[in-house]
Amino acid sequence: MTTVGLPAASPTAFGTARLLGGVTHGGRADLTTHRRVHGPQHHRTLDELAADASRVRLLGRGGAAFPVATKLAAVPVGPRTQVVVNGSESEPASRKDRTLMTLTPHLVLDGALAVARALRTTHVTIAVHDEAAYASLRAALEERTRREPVTGRVDLHRQPAGFVSGEVRAVLRGLDGGPAVPPSRRTLPSVSGLHGAPTFASNVETFAQVALLISLGPAEYAAVGDPEEPGTTLLTLLGDTRTRGVVEVPTDLPLDALVPGEGGPVLLGGYHGRWVHDVVGRTAARPGLRAAGLPLNAGVVARLPRDVCALAEVTAVARWLAAQSAGQCGPCLFGTAAAARDVGELLRGRAAPAVEARVAGLVRRGACAHPDGTAAFVASALEALPDELAEHRRHGTCGRPYGGVLPLDGAG
Amino acid sequence: MSRAARIEVDWTRCDGHALCGLLLPENLANDADGFPLIHRAEVDPANLRHARRAVSACPALALRLERT
């Protein structure tokens, strides 16, 4: 029996622990520890912060990998402007954001407060789903009330579960009391976000990276990692990987150091990501991966053990993805369900002649990226698993059991 | 004077009535469920009249013509 399941509780740093600095034996860094490791909170003007972010080519660590400097420059400065930390981490396999919020909440707060100060606003909102993360951030804010009073407000909100609800525009709608589903118009949060005000919204790790960039300075920040995307990044590893759970790695770390040689197929970039045979020659840097058509998204890397049925894993996730459709857009509602049914047919060794057309019919036909991400997941699995598909076609099964390596309940 | 325009679908509104494919076959067709498949988003100036007719015929108000 393969040991699988949720990542271990204790995160690991390969090389330099930066984001995870101060986290010893998986313990939470309180304000005293945080200040000892990272020093006092410093502030930067918007121009300085944007220049530093540009110099280290800081990219958003949610899904879209958008340049932080560009995003900073796009948001109007002033007291109406909102800063939103998207801590919904709705990807069930990902644990990195809740790890940061739970173990290093002050790093996240330093980053959010620095961005707010640079944008000359005092409005910071954090949307969280996970209970432990919420409790830790609350405790962190209480620690600060006593010792480092925050100017302005930090609103902490519990966010409903759901994959599509974690999309930033869905989060903003939910925070405004609406349904936590993506809006139909492609409005930019920088123009009209929270309460209709200009909004700088980004993922939890992005804010933690901003705090590191300020405390280390751009030169030291860029002293490790790939020149295309210097620094470190968090990944969540699961399945048959060298270590399991959340890891902090320099961005130039070869991925086969984490997902070694002989083994089953690898999923890069989580459930909106892509299946590949192996990760030889790849590093954790997003620009290089993206150039190869492999978005890292929120940093989930999974390797299936050889003794589980890969097609059953793919089918289970495809069904889960179909169930996650908000049901707003017809091609997604019907198309994701049909694609999941087709994959289920292939699993049983039956023919699914329309599967490729169905997957193609999901691309760019929705209000958000869910149908596109689902299409990428299914299409790349069909490409990366020719032997498994042939086995199932021939015998109706590969003889290996479903392992439940890819979790389906994390967002629930 | 004619201007360039793009046909766009508000996917949250579209109910798959499938009139658009009949009225604007130059740019889109409807799939088996009636939802449009856009094969070309840019509308030729010569087809603008067809495009406008398709937009106004959509019962769900899901079709838009965006100036580019």
Domain at A358, CATH number:
1.20.1440.230
Q: Torsion-angle region of residue A188: left (phi > 0), alpha (psi -120 to 50) or beta?
A: beta
Report residue A375: phi and psi, to 5°: -60, -45
Residues A212 and A234 in one domain: no
Q: Is A171 among the domain residues? A: yes
Kindly tell me if the per-residue pLDDT of A298 is higher than 90: yes
Chain A residue with the nearest C-alpha to that of B62: A184
pTM beyond cutoff 0.90: yes
Cβ of A184 within 8 Å of Cβ of B31? The answer is no
Low-confidence ranges of chain B (pLDDT < 50): 1
Given A171, A204, A221, which residue is the final one in a domain?
A221
Name the β-bridge partners of B5. Answer: B43, B67
What's the domain range around A358? 310-395
What is the architecture, at CATH level 2, of domain B5-67? 2-Layer Sandwich (3.30)
Cβ of B15 within 8 Å of Cβ of A330? The answer is yes
Q: Is B14 on the interface with A (CB under 8 A)?
A: yes
- Picking from A186, A187, A325, A329 by the largest number of B CB atoms within 10 A of its own CB, the best residue to mutate is A329
Residues A38 and A186 in one domain: yes
Residues A75 and A201 in one domain: yes
**Across A367-394, average pLDDT:** 96
Q: Is A401 among the domain residues? A: no
Given A221, A243, A271, which residue is the final one in a domain?
A221
Residues A109 and A216 in one domain: yes
Q: How many domains does chain A have?
A: 3
Q: Torsion-angle region of residue A58: left (phi > 0), alpha (psi -120 to 50) or beta?
A: beta
Q: pLDDT-derived band of residue A115, with 50, 70 and 90 as boundaries?
A: very high
Q: What is the pLDDT of residues A129-163, one digit of tens each?
A: 999 999 999 999 999 998 988 877 899 998 877 77
**What's CA A225's distance to the chain center, in Å?**
19
pLDDT at res. B3 = 66
Q: What ipTM does this complex have?
A: 0.90
Q: Is A210 among the domain residues? A: yes
Kindly tell me if the per-residue pLDDT of A409 is higher than 90: no
Residues A60 and A174 in one domain: yes
DSSP assignment of B8-21: EE-TTT------HH
Q: Which residues of B touch A187 (CB under 8 A)?
A: none
pLDDT at res. A289 = 97
Cβ of B35 within 8 Å of Cβ of A367? The answer is no
Q: What is the pLDDT of residues A309-368, one digit of tens each?
A: 999 999 999 999 999 999 999 999 999 999 999 999 999 999 999 999 999 999 999 999
CA angle A292/A298/A303 to nearest 5° reads: 70
Residues A27 and A166 in one domain: yes
3-state secondary structure of A115: helix
Q: Is A73 among the domain residues? A: yes
Alpha carbon distance A3, A405 (integer Å): 9
CATH label of the domain that carries residue A190: 3.40.50.11540
| The token pair that represents A119 in the structure block | 């944008």
Residues A87 and A199 in one domain: yes
Given A190, A221, A252, which residue is the final one in a domain?
A221
Cβ of A330 within 8 Å of Cβ of B16? The answer is yes
| The token pair that represents A53 in the structure block | 């972010």
pLDDT at res. A7 = 43
- What letter represents residue B9's amino acid? V
Q: What is the pLDDT of residues A39-84, one digit of tens each?
A: 999 999 999 999 999 999 999 999 889 999 999 999 999 999 999 9
Chain B residue with the nearest C-alpha to that of A366: B11
For the range A17-20, what are the long-range contacts, defined as Cβ-Cβ under 8 Å and sequence gap of 24 or more? A17/A248, A18/A212, A18/A216, A18/A231, A18/A232, A18/A248, A19/A100, A19/A104, A19/A107, A19/A205, A19/A208, A19/A209, A19/A212, A19/A232, A19/A234, A19/A248, A20/A103, A20/A104, A20/A248
3-state secondary structure of A127: strand
Residues A64 and A184 in one domain: yes
Alpha carbon distance B59, B17 (integer Å): 7
Residues A339 and A289 in one domain: no
Residues A258 and A293 in one domain: yes
Alpha carbon distance A251, A15 (integer Å): 11
3-state secondary structure of A254: strand
Cβ of B11 within 8 Å of Cβ of A334? The answer is no
Closest alpha carbon to A211 in A314, A96, A100, A109: A109
Q: Is A5 among the domain residues? A: no
Residues A54 and A147 in one domain: yes
Closest alpha carbon to A85 in A56, A116, A57, A58: A116
Q: pLDDT-derived band of residue A186, with 50, 70 and 90 as boundaries?
A: confident
Residues A115 and A88 in one domain: yes
